[in-house]
């Protein structure tokens, strides 16, 4: 088994709001990975005294523990329970009904000797390398479709007809893209937050297959380093317009 992961803040003056981790059961018969991308709110009150990095650490830790220990629960139920736990941990001090309450995108995958399950919510990505069919990107494309329609995203967060993130409502797990593969169909997995997937989706340095090949050959830190190089080459966002010059980035590569 091979596991490599890396993460880096977009700005070292602020906490990294991404979360990436993996768990392997003591039996050695499987594992689980979780990648979250915390959503940075606009300046102003978000109703929470803790902040996004606190939220992603709590949510990610709960989701990883449940995914690894409760194999009787589907990943959607694991996400629902993790959201409920996290909400309960700060519901007495924070306004969880605030539209900017801390929230995150989510990717989870879980494998054993027979199958690999996955869950993708919002704009992080899971890449699956199939033995006979190459690299398949598993995406929740709601944001891309809304942008293509020229829609403003802010009013559409966590609303029907819009897009969804993991915040305080456990029911959002039902909006995730989910599925499974036979274990013997899959060679390797990778998960990226959009700060790392910029290499493909923003800068066009390669496609998903080339991205996967880079992860396999050089590892997640090399991908993040290449994203940073592309960002530094366009510091003002002239060639590649973007909301942040540098974004938090996280990536994990797993050969289970």
83-103 confidence digits (pLDDT tens): 999 999 999 999 999 989 999
Task: Locate 238 and state its tokens.
Answer: 């002239």
Instruction: Write down the mean pLDDT value for the chain.
Output: 95
Token pair 């479709």 is found at 145
| pLDDT of 27 over the 70 cut | no
Q: Return the pLDDT at 42.
A: 83
Judged against a pLDDT cut of 90, whether residue 43 lies above it is answered with no
Question: Taking the model in full, what pTM does it have?
Answer: 0.95
Alpha-helical (H) ranges within the chain are 52-69, 75-90, 142-148, 194-201, 208-218, 220-233
User: What is the rounded CA–CA span in Å between residue 9 and residue 108?
Assistant: 21
Yes or no: say if 36 and 48 are a contact pair by the CB < 8 Å rule: no
* Distance in Å from the first CA to the final CA of the chain: 5
Q: Is the torsion defined by CA of 194, 141, 144, 122 positive or negative?
A: negative
Residues 32, 123: Cα–Cα separation, whole Å: 20
Task: Report d(CA 1, CA 150) in Å as an integer.
Answer: 44
Summarised one tens digit per residue, pLDDT across range 196-226 is 999 999 999 999 999 999 999 999 999 999 9
Does residue 157 surpass a pLDDT of 70? yes
Q: What is the pLDDT of residue 45?
A: 77
Q: How far apart are CA 135 and CA 159, in angstroms?
A: 31
Q: What is the pLDDT of residue 26?
A: 65
pLDDT band of residue 46 (cuts 50, 70, 90) is confident
Is residue 135 pLDDT above 80, yes or no? yes
* Strand (E) or helix (H) holding 157: none
């Amino acid at each position: 088994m091979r596991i490599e992961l890396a993460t880096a803040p977009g700005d070292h003056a602020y906490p990294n709001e991404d979360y990436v981790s993996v768990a392997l059961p003591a039996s050695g018969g499987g594992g689980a990975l979780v990648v979250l991308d915390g959503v940075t709110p606009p300046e102003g009150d978000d109703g929470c005294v803790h902040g996004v990095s606190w939220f992603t650490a709590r949510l990610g830790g709960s989701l990883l523990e449940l995914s690894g220990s409760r194999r009787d629960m589907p990943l959607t139920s694991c996400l629902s329970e993790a959201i409920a736990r996290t909400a309960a941990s700060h519901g007495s001090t924070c306004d969880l009904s605030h539209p900017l309450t801390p929230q995150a995108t989510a990717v989870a995958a879980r494998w054993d000797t027979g199958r690999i399950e996955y869950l993708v919510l919002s704009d992080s990505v899971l890449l699956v390398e199939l033995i006979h069919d190459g690299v398949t990107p598993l995406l929740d494309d709601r944001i891309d479709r809304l942008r293509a329609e020229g829609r403003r995203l802010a009013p559409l967060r966590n609303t029907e007809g819009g897009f969804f993130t993991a915040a305080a409502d456990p029911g959002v797990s039902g909006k995730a893209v989910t599925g499974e593969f036979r274990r013997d169909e899959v060679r390797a997995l990778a998960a990226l937050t959009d700060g790392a997937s910029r290499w493909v989706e923003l800068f066009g340095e390669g496609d998903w297959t080339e991205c996967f090949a880079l992860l396999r050959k050089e590892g997640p830190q090399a991908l993040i380093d290449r994203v940073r190089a592309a960002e530094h080459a366009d510091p003002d966002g002239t060639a590649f317009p973007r909301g942040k010059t540098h974004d938090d980035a996280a990536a994990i590569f797993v050969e289970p």
